[in-house]
Amino acid sequence: MQEYKRIPIGKDQIVPVAERMKKEGRFLVMIHGYIDKEGQTVLSYEYAVDPDIESYCVTGENTVPSIGEIYDTAATWPEREINELFGVVFEGLDMSQRLFLPEDMLETQGKGHIMVTPLSELVEKNKKEAKQ
């Protein structure tokens, strides 16, 4: 049975945890991002400590260090995605190119409006733009 263990950490522990996990030969399952009910950004670094997942969570930080040096593209792609969707800045990460968002939305890249704005507002905005 898969177990999911959540461990809160500060942003200064992100790199040391990643280094320890890499040394132990653990896979980085994913870095997830979401806005919690209190409106704070939550980043969770999920490591496969088989058979379980250990999830190291950082809450309320909008600038954190990148772990791209340690986990290469397994870390930089999710970091770029979180930057596009939530506007979190990863220090040391090359964020000069888009990953998923269309090129005509580059002016909004890193401002994180996609996952924060309610869907109904996005639909209204698109309708208005279509009329213009």
Partner 1 sequence: MSYIVPIGPYHPALEEPIHAKLYTEGEVIKDAEVFVGYNHRGIEKLATERNAIQTLVLVERVCGICSHSHAFTYAMAVENINGITPPKRGEYIRVITAELERLHSHFLWLGIACHIIGHDSMFMHIWDERELVMDLLEEMTGNRVNYAMVTIGGSRRDISDELRVKILAACDTLEEKLKRITEIAVTDKTIALRTKGVGTLPRDVALKMGAIGPHARASGVDVDVRRDSPYSAYGDFEFGVPVVDSGDVYARVVIRALESAESIKIIRQALENLPEGPINLGNKLVKIQDGVFVARHEAPRGQLSYMVVGNGSLYNHRVSIHVPSYKNTPTIPAMLRGNTVADAGLIVASIDPCFSCLDR
Question: What are the residues binding partner 1 (CB under 8 A)?
Answer: 1-2, 4, 6, 27-30, 32-37, 44, 46, 48, 50-53, 55, 71-74, 76-78, 97-102, 114-115, 119, 122
- Taking a C-beta distance cutoff of 8 angstroms, is the pair 64, 11 a contact? yes
- In the complex with partner 1, the residue whose CB is nearer, 47 or 64, is 47
- In the complex with partner 1, the residue whose CB is nearer, 2 or 132, is 2
Shortest approach of partner 1 to residue 27 CB, angstroms?
Answer: 6
- In the complex with partner 1, the residue whose CB is nearer, 15 or 48, is 48
Q: How many CA atoms lie within 13 Å of 54's alpha carbon, on the beta-carbon side? A: 13
SS3 label, residue 61: coil
Shortest approach of partner 1 to residue 51 CB, angstroms?
Answer: 4
- Taking a C-beta distance cutoff of 8 angstroms, is the pair 82, 34 a contact? no
The enclosing H or E element of 98 equals: none
Going by their DSSP bridges, the two strands 52-59 and 41-49 should be labelled as: antiparallel
Shortest approach of partner 1 to residue 123 CB, angstroms?
Answer: 10
Take residue 76 and report the two structure tokens written for it. 């930089």
Longest dimension (CA), the chain: 56
Shortest approach of partner 1 to residue 4 CB, angstroms?
Answer: 5
- In the complex with partner 1, the residue whose CB is nearer, 13 or 55, is 55
